[in-house]
């Protein structure tokens, strides 16, 4: 110590500061790496070449489905998901089966698929509640055609209802 009673800044002080500084940087990097590893991988398809080769067929299927001029309605209220499909003349279609796959746009931990059952009013329903937030809903409806009627809808659920 000097005469005024203050301590001198030594090499040990600088070493402690440097270790603390780089320790914080390393800890943050490790934390971010762990979070990135445990979250969504970003993988959409296993093989992008094969997916690109199937694109033209998928577009032809989409055009054929659009030519049917069918319209659908997906409602979510009070924990009940209901789906209906009508033809070009507005008549409700009777479907052999309807499957809905609920997916979060960014994470797959809450994704689920379920069959919708026919209700008395002619809608196809599920009584499994949907959590609030953004969802992608892939519908596959078997209407007795060569290929099922498919559509993907982006929905926002707030307070148990589609908004």
| pLDDT tens-digit map of 21-46 | 999 999 999 999 998 888 877 777 78
**Helix (H) / strand (E) containing 29:** helix 11-38
**Rg over CA atoms, the chain:** 28
Kindly list the distances between the CA atom of residue 93 and the CA atoms of 44, 61, 72, 98, in Å, as whole numbers in the listed order. Answer: 32, 20, 10, 12
127 DSSP assignment: -
For the chain, give every domain's residue range. Answer: 1-39, 69-162
pLDDT at residue 74 in the model: 95
- The vertex-137 CA angle with 133 and 140, nearest 5°, equals 165
Can you count the helices (H) and strands (E) in the chain?
A: 3, 8
Strand partners, 156: 134
Query: Does the pLDDT of residue 145 top 80, yes or no?
Result: yes
Percentage above 70 pLDDT, the chain: 96
pLDDT, one tens digit per residue, over 57-85 is 889 999 999 999 999 999 999 889 999 99
**Helix (H) / strand (E) containing 114:** strand 112-118
Q: How many other β-carbons are positioned within 10 Å of the β-carbon of residue 76? A: 23
Percentage above 90 pLDDT, the chain: 71
* Region 69-162: CATH code: 2.60.40.10
- Pick from 111, 113, 110: nearest CA to 101: 113
Query: How far apart (Å, rounded) are the C-alpha atoms in residues 113 and 80?
Result: 15
Q: How many other β-carbons are positioned within 10 Å of the β-carbon of residue 65? A: 16
The structure tokens 């599920």 sit at 126
């Amino acid at each position: 110590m000097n005469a005024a009673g203050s301590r001198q800044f030594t090499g040990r002080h600088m070493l402690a500061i440097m270790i603390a500084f780089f320790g914080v940087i390393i800890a943050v990097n490790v934390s971010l790496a762990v979070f990135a590893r445990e979250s969504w991988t970003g993988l959409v398809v296993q093989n992008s070449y094969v997916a690109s080769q199937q694109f033209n067929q998928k577009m032809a299927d989409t055009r054929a489905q659009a030519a049917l001029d069918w319209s659908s309605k997906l409602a979510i209220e009070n924990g009940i998901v209901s789906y209906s499909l009508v033809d070009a003349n507005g008549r409700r279609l009777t479907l052999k089966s309807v499957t809905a796959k609920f997916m979060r746009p960014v994470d797959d931990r809450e994704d689920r698929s379920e069959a919708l059952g026919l209700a008395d009013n002619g809608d196809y329903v599920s009584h499994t509640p949907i959590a609030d937030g953004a969802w992608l809903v892939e519908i596959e409806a078997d209407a007795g055609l060569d290929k099922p009627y498919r559509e993907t809808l982006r929905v926002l659920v707030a307070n148990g209802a589609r908004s």
